[in-house]
Structure formats: structure tokens, C-alpha cells
Structure 1
Amino acid sequence: MVCSLAACPLAAQPALGERFERPLSAVLADVGTRFGVQVVCKRFSADTVRVPYADFRVRPYSLSETMDNLLHPLGLVWSGGKRITVQPYEYYRRTVADGEKLLAWLAAQYADRAAWEERRRQVLAGVRGALALDPFLRGLVAQPRVIQGPEEPHDGYTTRNYALETLPGVYVCGTVYAPRTAPLSGRNPAARRPLIVAPSGHWPGGRYREDHQRLMATLARMGAVAVDMDIFGWGESEQQVGREAHTAPYAMQMQVLWSKAVTDWIVAARCDIDTARMAATGGSGGATHALLLAAVDGRFAALAPVVHLVSHFDGGCPCESGRPVTLAAGGSCMPEILAAVCAPKPVLTVSDGGDWTASYPALEYPYLRCIWGFYGAQEAVRNVHLPDERHDFGPNKRRAVYDFFARTLGLDALQADESATEVLPEEALQALRGDWPEGSVRSREELEQLLEKLP
């Protein structure tokens, strides 16, 4: 069959040697017609993207090759079957199949404990190097100003708000939840209490939301000193530097710095902390920061990350993936970093069927058990999977955390009664309530000027 020039779609294109550009929207419309599929674009406008040599990228015998040829050079990816979604490439998100291949590649590098220990050393060094936290740590105020509110009594626990100066004029605010008992003597180590640090996730309300308050108050009723803090750029921090600072390139470093500074302060300020029983927990982005805190502070004895830390998703927010920690040691992922930080210490992962952690029971959990097995400690790493639940820190997830910390930290499981806890209004958990100390940084611009001068 002979194709006439009039029927040939290339006839209207410039002469050979030109770029044969077309709008991506037009090319995708043709692809949809050719292969009988619907193509939709998310998070960008296909009308503004020009595709050089557009028609030459089409492979009439293969939809998948056509889509790859069109999109990958443009930094775009696609997924789906009869309905195809096109969106910008997300460096922090991969597929479960990608995660499976990565974990298999990682596991092949260490067949025994000695090989794993060498890999662990490389991963930890790479993570700490990628965080580049040293200038921030050197910039911490040597004698920080601490503003604390009154200790408020509740049923079996107390709350006390704090504002801790970190970098000069930069404050992190949070609340200390503690058991409501007589003060303990620092001279009696056996009577000291576990410390649980709980960075908050990205759910609306941050650390003021009901589920987070229930978690913190119940841990205190069970016998732990539990401390939280605002997300950088959220809560009272938003009043100081604005919400936009949360997506700045330094947000991840600021959040890790805050977790570390609060931990150091609470240990130094209280005589009742048992530093052999320090733990961290958090949901979603809070799980990332619980892990990163443990990565820069080797004192943590147990970790309970909830609905996060899989092999194929790094979080997406700059506060979680703004620094390339998963490129450590030639390429890593959150489960391997979790193992490098914690094995063979006790770890609980809580997953569900309604988010990216749906892969945990079949993919990440067996991988973690293999590494803990190098130490004969497979039972020290646990997974509670809730297949009918979604991405939250709901009652069943919190109950799993209570049970885990009761076993690993010696907390009183009989006091894990959330009905005895009180949900406070946001203002009641604020340390400063808009009354910022003299000399405080009051904008993102002032903060960035300060960061430029870090030693």
C-alpha cells in the first residue's frame, strides 16, 4: 500500500533536519486514539510542553514503548492501562516492583553478619553525610533560653508546655507529658522513667490533633515521659518563620536538629530519665523523623514507626526527602536505614492496607527479619498489619504502640486507657501564644540570613 503525501501526518511538518516539535497534549491525544486509551495529565499542563521529534517517538506496535519514548526524556512518568495517568517524575516515589528489586539487590550484598556490619557502617556514614547536620549542630545556642508554662494536672499525668531556643532566636515549641506521681530521686536509677520522643506527622492539626494527644497522654499514664514538638513551619513555628519554610531546602535539617535539641534538653533538664530506655515513635512523616533522630543519636533503645518507611516511597515532603539520605552507600532505602540504625534493638512497624505500607507484610518485613536474624533476634522486630485500615494513627495503631512499649520499656499496660485522657484546645498546648521573646527571628528571611552565617 502506497501512502500519499496528503494522507501522511508528517507532510505538514518542517523539512528533515528540523526538530519536528509538537505540543505534548496533541501527541497524547493521537496516542490515545491510536491505542484506544484515555490519557490524563496530573500536576502539569501538557499544552505548555513541546516534544521534539514527536512522531518519531511513536512505536505503532507498543503503547508502553511509545509512552516511555515520549515521556522519560521530558522528566515525566506514566501508569495505568485503559486509563493512563501522566505526571512529573517523583524522585521520592517508586513502585512496589521497584522496591522488591531494590531490596533483593541490597540483600544480596550481605549474606552474613560481618558483611552486614560493614554495610551498616557505610549506610550510617552516608545518611549522616547526606543530612549535613554538623553546621546546624555547631550553631546551637550553648546556653539556650527555655520558657516553660505551669505543670497542668490531669488524670494520671501532667502536661507542661515549653519553648526551647535552638539556633539564636529560633524556638521549637512542644509539650512534655509526664506521669502524675511524686518527683523521683535522680540518685535511684531503678526508679527512673523511660523517655519517648514523638515527632508529629503531617496530618491536619499537627501535634494538637486528638489522636496525637491521646497517644502522648496515654504513654505518660503508662509511666513514660513523652515529649513532642511542632513540625518546623507548623504550629507556633509557623508564627515565627511562616508555613512556606516547611518546604524549604533546609526543612529536613531543621526538623532533625529540633528533635535532637529537644532530646538533649529533656535528658539534661530532668533527673528522672532512664537513658537506657529511650524510644521514639511517630506516624507518617513523624516516623521518618523518629528514625532520623535515632540515626543522629545512638541512645535510642526502641523505635515504633507507624504507616511509613517502605522501600518504594520516601515521603515526598522536603522535610522528609529534601536531603538525599536514601542515596547513602551507593543506594539505600528507608527499611535498610531502619536496620542500620536499630538492628538488633526492638522495632515495631505498623502498616495498613490503605496506603503505601500495604506491601510491608510480604516485602519489607521479611527483609528486616533477615537482618535481625544475623543477630539471632528475629523476634525483636515486629509488624502489626491492619489490612482494612487506611493512612492514619488510629486507635488500633496506637494500641499496638502501647503494647510494644509496655513490653520493651516496662510500661504499665493496665494504664493504657485512653478514656482517662483529656483532649485540650490548641491554645492550651502552646508555649508562647504569640508572645515571642525579644531577639526572636520573626520571618523566613531572617532565618535564612542566620543559616548563611552558620559556622
Structure 2
Amino acid sequence: MIRNITFSLMLVSLLTVPTLAQPRITPEGQLPQDARLQPLKDLNGYFPMQTTNTEKDWAKRRTFLRRKILVSLGLWPMPVKTPLNAVIHSRKEMDGYSIEKVYFETMPGYYLTGNLYRPLNLKNQNAKIPGILCPHGHWQQGRFYDAPKNTLERQLGDGAEKFPEGGRNPIQARSVHLARLGCTVFSYDMVGYADNTQISYVLAHGFAKQRPHMNSADNWGFFSPQAESHLQNIMGLQTWNSIRALDFISTLDEVDADRLAVTGASGGGTQTFIVSAIDARVKVSMPAVMVSTAMQGGCTCENACLLRVDAGNVDFAAMFAPKPLGLTAADDWTVEMETKGFPELQQLYKMLGKENNIHLEAHLQYPHNYNYVCRRAMYEFMNKHLGLGYSEVPPERDYPYQGREQLTVWNDQHPAPQGGDEFESRLLQLWNEDAQTKLTALLTRQPKSLRQFKEVVGGGIDIILGQGLPRATRLDWEQTYKQTNNGYLEIGGTLINLDSESANPVLFLYPENWNQKVIIWITEDGKDGLYNDDGTLISGVAALLENQYCVVGVDLLYQGEFLTTEKPAERTRRVNSNTREAAAYSFGFNHTLFARRSHDILTTISFVFHHESLPEEISLVALDSTGPLAIAARAQARTVVTKLAANSNGFRFATVTDIHSPNFLPGGAKYFDLPGMLAVATPNQTWLSGEDDVPEIVAKAYKTARASGKLKADYEGSVESVLRFLQQQSK
């Protein structure tokens, strides 16, 4: 028979005796031995490839990495491919090739610009030919780059370049020669470069300071907390441009859509391996002087929150396996590629039975480049794997350099579109509306739609939070405290996650006759929040113990024993190496504090779930400002948490206006914000307070699951109501 837990509340208030002090796990004067207290990782860290032993394991890893890239770049789900409305004009025939000017809309009103190089005098005019994308890196003005005289003289002298005209711009050089070899080549602008100025160069590549006028709930710009919470970033926009560039080139009459390739250097190398990793249409890929275990890309256009947490550029390049992948190395951050990164790639290709499809061209005598020597290797690689048909690839010949005046796509007949702050804000609103339309359409009245909803929305949340339930074998428990206290047992120790190297002080309160049910009670004061200031247990915890529940308290990161003072963390840390106010420099390589605290809860849940005592039921309670953390953890734990009782406090990630707020979470707003995290845990039992009404997506998810009765909304949020909910038989 179920006892009346509300009556027990009154009873335990009479029986509770003060303890001498709240239990402490870590010795006085010391902090927990938690690796997360160390300096944050930055883009100059060490990023070795995570290897696997079987094809099956690699396939799983690759699938996960693809989702990680897409989520991080704001492309999960993929935006609608609206009409390109491509314009090709001003054809000019040269020696063995032609040049044309191109612009098209990758999103409505936003234009990608570039030049199209096509071969002349093909032997078989009816034969389909390869199409190659050439994204450039951070050469000044990109397509319009003109090497300084002293730089070109040095390169001609040391053999890095061969021709006084052709050596002036390596981007043009490879585009020209690939066309002469029989390929159609599209050389296109990075955001902010050359003709692509609707989003300025200063913003896209030089952003350094947050812009208050572009930081509001209905008017935000790139790099703002709102943009980050919706996963809108320059790297995502550039990647989308590359995807649409593949759309464009594959529709040209002469192009063989089964022979598409991409090659670029430096920042163009980043674009190369990223689009090659996520778009199956790319058949040959050659990112130059970019893939390494060292520096991962220094520009804001190469970084995104979430992207390189527990992953790096070698992992992303590996995703192209077993298709042909060519790499180059120089006297830069790729200098150790021959011994760090490339052997692991070779091992992967060998495991997949395509060891001849991977190649590294290392010329360490040259600084950062895509010079004549490396381009020659690229031509040979393309000839071999695109079937260009040469027994010996003809070497480059000189060509007339083309400057801005010759290559720009804009003129009186083709005027440049408007850009600026207002355009930027409209573009991000359009991007967000497209995503929300797709996400909303996932959930219908049919119960089977809930599965797809969880795969997409839950799949996004999984990447955003960055940890599920740890495996039991990766957890360690070090007990350091045990004391009997007024009819219950206090057991304390440190819970260690061997993967994240976290170390959380945890306290278990066991009743005399445990009912095999566990309540993990999260508070903003950590485990101390289970007690009143006088050392007595708070009423809800005391009532649960009286009714034979085990109650667990935990110090989340920067709570309780993680603090050197009683003052809680008001702002999160940032990397020491970069003063620019772009969130990706910190949170592209490290989890946010919100995410790490959710990890601590998940680690605690996993430890309890896998404990040898075999608890029958695990519930999660958070009635103060930690409610959103519990909701987030439950979104990952799903059915392992039988019941959740949480006060949302009406919190939404979209309202966070500081990238170093403890509640800042990149992507937090995109997937229906906090209510989305409740929705993906459908149909599990949930008690919710802090809302004026049940959020629409939550009500819809429970209704779709035919489980509306498992959702309890309590607008007063009393402890008595929570206790009644916890005592109910599980449905």
C-alpha cells in the first residue's frame, strides 16, 4: 500500500535532527581532481585522429561525425534548395580555355560569385567531362590576388613557381590548367572576398567584438549569442555555398556528375575536406596544406561551436575514405603530417581495401602554399582518379594573369546586390525560418512520426549537449565518507568519468529499508542544497527518506566543492590564446559550462543505473534554477530516467545575451529550445512547473505518443505536488 507522502512531510519535520555539518568529500583546501579545471583547449591544440579497428566501427564513427558537422554548421536538417537562378555571362576565349563570369543564389537574395573555366578544342565535343570546384584560401582578395613582386621573385627563384604571369595567382593557375587538361572548373569566392561582399570581409574573417545592435531576439547577426544558439555561422554559410556550387556545376551540360572533385588550399582546404565529408557527390578530394593534428584553422570562417570538440581535421578528412584523397604538407602546421595523421589515414584506407587511394605530397622546404610543385602533384592525382586519360600529364604553361577588372562579375548590366546589417539580419531570419519549417513538419498526428522527430531533433540535441549516458566500464567510484545520521546512512565519494576525466563529489542518502528507488536531486548549491542552513535536511528530501527512497546529491562543475568561495560562477571561461569575441574560439573545442553540468548529471544517472544494487526506478528532480539542466540531461537519458520533476523557470536559450553566460548553449534554441528537450523524452513521465502553459511542441509530442496522461503541468510548483508525482506508480 502506498503511504501518504504529504503526511510524511509533516512527520519528518518533527523527527529531523541537525547534523554537525554538511558532508565534504574533497579534503579542505583542495578542489576535486577534475581535468575540466585545467586551461581550455584551443585551435592550436593536439587533434589526433580517433581510430577504429573494424569497418563497422568506422561506419558508425563516420555517421556520427557527419551529423556533428551538419549540426555544428547549421545544416541539420539541410536547408531547402531554392532555385539557383544562375547567370553566366561575358565569355572570353583564351589559349586552350575560356573564362566566364557567374553568380547565383545559394539562398534567396544571397549570391555566390566566381569564374567558370572551360576547356576549348576537346577531341570529343560530345563526351562528358569532370567538374572541379576550386575554393580559395586566405590569399588577399582571393580570385583577384596578385602576388607582391618580391614574393613572386622569391618563388621563381626557389622553384615554387615557374612563370612570371602564371605565378601571380595560384588560384587562377590551377583553374586554368585543369581546364586545359579537359575539366570544367568553378573558382568561387569565400564569404567577404572579391565579388562576394553582401557579408563583409571585416565581419566574416575579422570579427573581434560583439555588436550590441545585432544582439536581440528579433534582430541578430553572425557571432551573436542568438546566431550561435541557432547554429548560424560563417563556416556553415560557406559550406552551404560549396554544396550549392556542386549543384551548379553538376547541372552544366558538359559536366559528368559522376566525376566531381574539389581542391583548395589553406582555408580553401578546410572547405574542401568539409564539403567532401558531407556531400556524397564529390568523387575526388585534395585539400592542400590544411589537414593536420596541429593548428585547425585560425579564421572565424573555419571555426564553429561544437565542431572540434573531441574531433579534428584529420577525422574530417578521413570521412572521405575510401574515395581518392590527396593531401599536401609544407613548412607550416602540416609539417609533421607524415608522422602524425597520415599514418592513421593510411591504416584506415588499408582496412577499407583502398590503400592506393590515399596520397600525401610533402614538400617541407616550402612555406604555406599551393605552389607549382604541389599543383603538379594535384594534376597527376586528378588524372589518375578522374580518368583524364593522360599517360603523362602535360605541365603547366604560362597564361595571362587576370585582375579584378577582367574577372569581376558585377557591372552595369549585372549590378552588385545590397548587403549590410539589415541584409545580414534578414538572411539569418530566413535561414532560421527554413529550419523551423522543416523541424515543425516532422511531427504529425501519426505516432510513427515521433521516431523521425527524435532522430532529427534528438540527433541535433545529442550533438549540442555532447554526451549521452557513459558506459559503466568508463566510470570509477572512490568512496571517502560514510556516516549514520538519524536513521539514514550518508555515503560520499568522488564519481569519475574516465573519458572526460571529470570528478564529481557525490552524496548518497540511504534510508534504513530502501525501496529500490532512487531520486537524484539537483540543486544550484550542489549536494549542499539537500540541507537547510542549520544542517537539517530540506523537507522534500527528508520526506523521501522517510518513505524509503534513496536520495542522491551531486556537485556539478563550479558548484559546491568546485568553488573556492561561496560565490557561484557568473561568467564562463574563455581560451587564453584569443581575445576575439567569437564563441567558436572557445566552444568549438570545449563544451560550455551548461553542457558540462548536464554531463555531470548524466554521469550520475549512469552510475546509479548500472550499480550492483540494481535500482528499480531512477527519478530526477530539479526545482530551482537547475531545472533546465535536468531537462537537458533527461533528453539524453530518455527511458533510464523514469520520472522527471523540473521547474523550467520559463527559461529559453534564445534569451541568453552573453556568450559567456553559464546558460549559454550553442544550438540550444534551434531545436524548439528547452521545450524540444522535453519533447524528445516523450512518452516518459514528466512533472513540469515554471511555464504559463504547456509548451506547444511538448503537448504535441505527448499527444502524438498517445501519452498525454504522463505529462503533469503544475503552475504553483509546490514540493508536495512533486512528492505526490514521485510516489505515483510508474505508468
TM-score (norm: length of structure 2): 0.45
Alignment pair present for 1:91 and 2:42: yes
Higher mean displacement: 202-211 or 410-419: 410-419
Question: What are the residue-to-residue correspondences of 1:335-350 with 2, within 5 Å?
Answer: 335-340=314-319, 342-350=320-328
Identify which of 203, 207, 227 aligns with 2:143: 207
In structure 2, the residue matched to 1:262 is 245
Change (3 A) 1:173 1:146: same
**Partners of 2:343 and 2:38 in 1: CA distance:** 37
Kindly report which structure 2 residues correspond to 1:73-112, keeping only aligned pairs within 5 A, or say none: 91-94=42-45, 98-99=46-47, 102-103=48-49, 106-107=50-51, 110-112=52-54
Report how far residue 267 of structure 1 moved: 1.5
- 1:225 paired to 2:165: no
From 195, 201, 210, the counterpart of 1:236: 195
**Which string of whole-angstrom CA distances, capped at 9 and with x for unpartnered residues, describes residues 209-250 of structure 1?**
311101100000001111111110111112x33222314432
Over the aligned positions, Cα root-mean-square deviation in angstroms equals 2.6
Q: CA deviation at 1:396?
A: 0.6
Following the alignment from structure 2 to structure 1, what is the Cα–Cα distance between the partners of residues 83 and 56?
42
Counterpart amino acid of residue 121 in structure 2? T
Whole-angstrom distance in 1 between the partners of 2:403 and 2:364:
32
In the alignment, is residue 392 of structure 1 matched against residue 392 of structure 2? no
On the 8 A contact 2:191/2:200 being kept in 1, the answer is no
Quick one: which amino acid aligns to residue 358 of structure 1?
Answer: V
Render the CA deviation track for 1:152-180: whole Å, top value 9, x for unaligned.
11111111111112222211110111111
Secondary structure of 2:132's counterpart equals strand
Q: Return the match for 2:423 from 425, 439, 446.
A: 446
Alpha carbons of structure 1 residues 415 and 348: separation in structure 2 relative to 1, 3 Å = closer
Q: Which is richer in helix?
A: 1
Residues 155 and 363 (structure 1 numbering): CA distance in 2 closer, same or farther, change over 3 Å? same
Q: Which residue matches 1:251? A: 234
- Counterpart residue type for residue 327 of structure 2: T
Q: Distance in 2 between matches of 1:452 and 1:386?
A: 45
Q: How far off its partner does 1:92 sit? A: 1.6
Distance in 2 (CA, whole Å) between partners of 1:345 and 1:144 is 28
> Could you tell me whether the CA contact under 8 Å between 1:169 and 1:441 is conserved in 2?
no
Equivalent residue for 2:270? 288
In structure 2, distance between residues paired with 1:227 and 1:403: 19
Give the counterpart letter for 1:453 in structure 2.
L
Partner of 2:57: 115
* CA distance 1:150–1:266, change in 2 (3 Å): same
TM-score w.r.t. structure 1 length? Answer: 0.72
The 1:166/1:358 distance shift into structure 2, 3 A limit, reads same
Is 1:324 matched with 2:295? no
Identity within the alignment, %: 25
- What displacement does 1:394 show? 1.0
2:279 pairs with 284, 297, 311, which one?
Answer: 297
Residues 177 and 396 in structure 2, CA contact (< 8 A), matched pair in contact too? yes
Secondary structure of the corresponding residue to residue 188 of structure 2: coil
Q: How does 1:14-413 map to 2 (within 5 A)?
A: 91-94=42-45, 98-99=46-47, 102-103=48-49, 106-107=50-51, 110-134=52-76, 137-138=79-80, 140=81, 142-181=82-121, 191-209=127-145, 210-238=169-197, 240-247=198-205, 248-249=222-223, 250-268=233-251, 270-327=252-309, 331-340=310-319, 342-352=320-330, 354-411=331-388, 413=390
Deviation sequence 1:42-77 (CA, Å, 0-9, x none) = xxxxxxxxxxxxxx9xxxxxxxxxxxxxxx9796xx
CA distance in 2: counterparts of 1:374 and 1:289, whole angstroms: 26
How far off is 1:93 after superposition?
1.5
How many residues are aligned here? 351
Q: Which amino acid aligns with 1:236?
A: D
Partner SS, residue 324 of structure 1: coil
Contact kept, 8 Å, 2:293 with 2:337, in 1: the verdict is no
Give the partner amino acid of 1:176: L
CA distance in 2, matches of 1:437, 1:422: 26
User: Is this contact kept in 2: 1:221–1:416, CA < 8 A?
Assistant: no
**Alpha carbons of 1:74 and 1:383: their partners in 2 closer, same or farther (altered >3 Å)?**
closer
Q: What is the alpha-carbon distance in structure 1 between the residues aligned to residue 244 and residue 87 of structure 2?
A: 15
AA matched with 1:272: E
User: Structure 1 CA distance, aligned partners of 2:38 and 2:318?
Assistant: 36
State the match for 2:548 in structure 1.
Answer: none
Task: Quote the Cα distance in structure 2 between the aligned partners of 1:395 and 1:151.
Answer: 27
Report SS of the residue matched to 1:234. coil
Q: 1:123 to 1:450 in 2, by over 3 A?
A: closer
CA–CA separation in structure 2 for the residues paired with 1:334 and 1:433: 39
Work out whether residues 427 and 433 of structure 1, in 8 Å CA contact, stay in contact via their aligned partners in 2: no
Contact kept, 8 Å, 1:133 with 1:253, in 2: the verdict is yes
Residue 431 (structure 1) aligned with residue 431 (structure 2): no
Letter in 2 for 1:447: E
Q: Residues 163 and 432 of structure 1 are in contact (CA less than 8 Å); yes or no, is this contact kept in structure 2? A: no
Shift of 1:400: 0.9
